[in-house]
A and B are shown apart, each in its own frame.
Chain A
């Protein structure tokens, strides 16, 4: 889907006096998350003094944005332009974001919570929330002289990077563990990417990509473009707050792979409060990991450091990061509220995928199943309380991982009383009726 953006906000924000560089009076540059040292904007991602991760340093006091201005803009993530590291909506790219916040009463009953809303990010152009992050990284690519877009992917990022590269006219290379679901590889190939399967875990792929990024200068969205990329996830927080009438929910439940999404949700809410769009109030954050790769859940439970997992053992490939870069920052978010990190078995995940599909009509991939199952776990733990309004982020579409749905199922053929796949029938009513009544 190559798209020339024509929505009103593009016109509104692409002012004649827009500065040529992303460093504007609302953005000071980079700042090291570890030591606080400022760094100049550019193709950098690591503090030159301490190796800590760099992030965008906004001058929030200088940012003037109000609800009416945002409401007058068209859909997609650029409606929150002032809180993103871009000068103006890019001329080319995918139309990303503005996904619905669905009331999920039947699923709420099943999970035992009073009010549940699903942030349905399965509906982005490549069917996962990764389109948001890639859009922000790619919007900076021309300014940084990037001629090849690339990524290290557990699956979803591959298609998001490949499709975005196609839309802006760049070649793309995506590196994945060779064990990734075949559908996710085909999805990336469809957009014209070069897919490089690596005989190793995601962490092995990631290590290789850091070296490739360093040596070849390609724009790896989640390595050397990471400070921009990570900002894209904040738009989920912005949308949730706006969709709730400019306020936060009681509880947010989100999957944790690297931890970047989780921490950027918290940052998004903080920034909305800082610029006066919402009132600051406590939000309990619940993280969701697969039990077979749960380094952050273990660290949270033990009170210790995030220890890497060498060999993930789960069918939730999109969360199978054994050495999560932002794990320690997830713990920091949790230290400031009364949340939790839940570790969910693959059986619970598969059941949650089926429940979400059959009770709400939303087909999620395993990471979404982990998230929904974590709602139930957090309720049992007492983190989710009576009367709470809970927002759960389902971040990828089940069409990408159809086999996961059947995990643990005894797949018997359908009968008139049991849903499922019926046998092949002749095309006449009497045959159908006989089968239905058998």
Chain B
């Protein structure tokens, strides 16, 4: 099971949960199952054609998945996936 940290802006769609644990071998699978478990997150996390919303950044153990294998980045039991708004500004 992979731990996912839910940002406050999504918690209304996860019944207030800050963390959820979900089975899956890649970031894509984990997000797919998160959306299946909490359909209210779909509009925020996904584009209409099923891709990851460009305003969502996904980190695995602190590393942006765009620097790894994007949604195909493998995840396992000891990994933490963090979903955050794309917001970097000096």
Chain A residues within 8 Å of B, Cβ to Cβ: 34, 45-53, 152-154, 156-157, 202-204, 206-207, 210-211, 214, 222-223, 226, 230, 257-260, 307-308, 310, 318-319, 321, 323-326, 328
Contact = CB atoms under 8 A, between A and B. Distances in A.
Given A49-B44, A51-B44, A211-B84, A308 B90 contact: no
A223 B43 contact: no
Interface of B: 5, 7-9, 12, 43-44, 53-57, 59, 62, 64, 66-67, 82, 84-90
B55 to A, nearest CB: 4
Contact of B90 (A50, A51, A310, A321): A321
B86 A204 contact: no
A308 B64 contact: yes
Nearest to A319: B90
B7 A214 contact: yes
B26 to A, nearest CB: 20
A45 B87 contact: yes
Contacts of B55: 34, 46-47, 50-53
Contact of A46 (B9, B43, B54): B9
A203 B90 contact: no
A131 to B, nearest CB: 14
15 contacts: A45-B85, A47-B55, A50-B43, A50-B44, A51-B55, A206-B87, A207-B57, A207-B59, A211-B5, A211-B82, A258-B90, A308-B64, A323-B86, A325-B86, A325-B87
What 7 A-B pairs come out closest when comparing CB atoms?
A258-B89, A51-B55, A257-B90, A46-B85, A154-B90, A206-B88, A325-B88
Contacts of A307: 66
A310 B9 contact: no
A207 B12 CA distance: 21
Contacts, number: 93
**Residue of A48, A51, A226 most packed against chain B (CB within 10 A):** A51
Given A46-B9, A50-B43, A214-B7, A321 B89 contact: yes
B87 A48 contact: no
Contacts of A328: 54
B84 A207 contact: yes
A310 B85 contact: no
Contacts of B44: 48-51
A210 B90 contact: no
B90 A157 contact: yes
B87 A153 contact: no
Given A202-B90, A321-B90, A51 B85 contact: yes
Contact of A323 (B7, B9, B88): B88
B64 A226 contact: no
Given A210-B7, A308-B67, A323-B86, 8 more contacts: A46-B55, A48-B44, A50-B43, A52-B55, A53-B87, A154-B90, A210-B87, A223-B87
A176 B79 CA distance: 26
Contacts of A308: 64, 66-67
Nearest to B87: A325
Contact of A49 (B43, B84, B86): B43
Nearest to A324: B88
A42 B48 CA distance: 29
A258 B9 contact: no
B42 to A, nearest CB: 11
B43 A210 contact: no
A46 B87 contact: yes
Contacts of B90: 152-154, 156-157, 202, 222, 257-258, 318-319, 321
Contacts of A210: 7, 84-85, 87
Nearest to A311: B67
Contacts of B9: 46, 48, 51
